[in-house]
Chains A and B, each alone.
Chain A
Amino acid sequence: MIVKEWCMYCGECAGVCPRNLIEVREISLNFNKEECKDCRICVKACPVQALEKGDD
């Protein structure tokens, strides 16, 4: 997952991730890539479109 520079660490993406894979730190995001099912629910939820699915 590519996190854009304008992410504001609001945590909405973490709240909707059905697999609880997103850790929102004060100024960084961690994804558990191995478990990600690529459902893109987090991408759609972001109020400022700060997430983009990468090629990994």
Chain B
Amino acid sequence: MIKMIETDILVIGAGPAGSTAAKHAAMAGSSVILMDKKSEIGSPKRCAEGVSKEGLKKLEIEPSERWVTKELSGVRMVSPNGTAVNLTEDKVKLPEAGYILERKVFDKYMAMDAGRAGAKIMIKTLATGMKREDDQMVVTAERMGEEFQIKAKIVIAADGPESRVGRWAGLRTSLKPKDMESCAQFEMAGVEMEEPDCIEFHFGSVSPGGYAWIFPKGDDIANVGLGVLTTMTDKSAYEHLLEFVENNPATKNAQAVELNIGGDPVGGLLKKKVTDNVLVTGDAASMVNPLTGGGIISGMLGGRIAGQVAAQAVMEGDYSEKGLGIYEELCERELGKSFEKYLKAKDYLLSLSDEELDQIAEVFKDSDFETINTAEMVRKLVKISPKALLKLGKLF
């Protein structure tokens, strides 16, 4: 007979979204299992590791020197011909300044917090299937050669861009290629950045459908990567990365010590994230800023809502789609509205040729910015580019 474990809430995936969901569900008094197929939570990383200070504050997470590698003081944006727009703290107010994390450590710490709140953590445990039985979900799982089942009142699918769990429950979490950035990144040493305290973005044909980045991690170390839409190029993300590294003055003498790859779901918030007994959160629900590709903070915000809604439903004994429906509303309020705007902004950005990007950089490079948030950027763009007005209107 296959072993069966019972719990109120099962969270599948211990990335930032899943660990946050598990922590908040456990804090609210539910019995919680948090499982991940990895033998080491957080590793290998699939991330450039940038987060905003504002975001951590919102999540009430104190930055720790154990997982912050670098405090940032600005942003550098580079157009295809090398024209740079530097937005540094000495020139502008930086409400969205942030940190570069060590994700391998950060993710583990977030899982530890969930454990401290009362969640039971199961590592090296793969969910292999799921079915509904007597008003509950039964998940089959495998750990070190042992197969067993977990019966849960509610399953929170936080399984990242693979997003298979939601589909087992009939939700449409799979992504079209146009909505998934294909990413490749090196962590490198010997990087010679112009502005070593700034995150750097490179736009245009260097990375079709996305952008390239250099995110400093202190000293001469940086994450150097890019994301492409496979609908817009015949080369792989890795091939584009090799070209970028070879041609960029900051990286041409640098050496890679790590290769990271992965998908980043940038199509905007998944419409239907709830069904009977199941909530989808984080990357699995495309809780990623469609313009920047950043999904750590937004996934954790979504995860917090998922954990709280699930725990409340357990208390009330209603795990139906209707009972969990408030999740959609809260996610829409927290993330959905801003994502709509960022989607439009992305659409505009992707419509620009290398020449147009160069022209815009030329104008921006001498501009005065009072703030550096994305909305302010777009407002400025609209002023100088008629196409921006057409594509973005008065959104921002």
Contact = CB atoms under 8 A, between A and B. Distances in A.
Chain B interface residue bracket vs A: 20 to 34
B326 to A, nearest CB: 27
B126 interface: yes
22 contacts: A11-B161, A12-B161, A12-B182, A14-B162, A15-B162, A15-B175, A15-B180, A15-B263, A15-B265, A16-B174, A16-B177, A24-B162, A26-B38, A26-B39, A41-B177, A44-B177, A47-B236, A47-B237, A47-B238, A47-B263, A48-B184, A49-B236
A16 B238 CA distance: 18
**Most central of A15, A16, A46 by chain B CB within 10 Å:** A15
B370 to A, nearest CB: 38
A23 B182 CA distance: 18
A10 B37 contact: no
A24 B177 CA distance: 18
Interface in B134-193: 160-164, 167-168, 174-177, 180, 182-184
B174 A20 contact: yes
B162 A47 contact: no
B262 interface: yes
A52 B217 CA distance: 36
A25 B174 contact: no
Nearest to B36: A26
Given A10-B261, A47-B236, A48-B238, A15 B163 contact: yes
Nearest to A18: B174
Interface of A: 8, 10-12, 14-18, 20, 23-26, 41, 44-49
A20 B259 contact: no
A26 B184 CA distance: 19
Interface of B: 37-39, 44, 46, 124, 126, 128, 160-164, 167-168, 174-177, 180, 182-184, 230, 236-238, 259, 261-263, 265
Given A17-B174, A20-B168, A48-B236, 11 more contacts: A8-B44, A10-B262, A11-B161, A20-B164, A26-B39, A26-B124, A26-B126, A41-B177, A44-B230, A48-B237, A49-B236
A30 to B, nearest CB: 9
Contacts of A41: 177
Contacts of B262: 10-12, 47
Contacts of A11: 160-162, 262-263
Contacts of A15: 161-163, 174-175, 180, 263, 265
Contacts of B174: 15-18, 20
A16 B263 contact: yes
B184 A47 contact: yes
Given A44-B177, A47-B236, A49-B236, A12 B261 contact: yes
Contact of A47 (B124, B164, B183): B183
Given A16-B177, A26-B37, A44-B230, A49 B238 contact: yes
A50 B162 CA distance: 16
Contacts of B183: 47
Contacts of A18: 174
A23 B262 CA distance: 15
A10 B39 contact: no
Closest 7 pairs (CB-CB, A-B): A12-B263, A11-B162, A47-B237, A47-B261, A10-B262, A14-B162, A15-B161
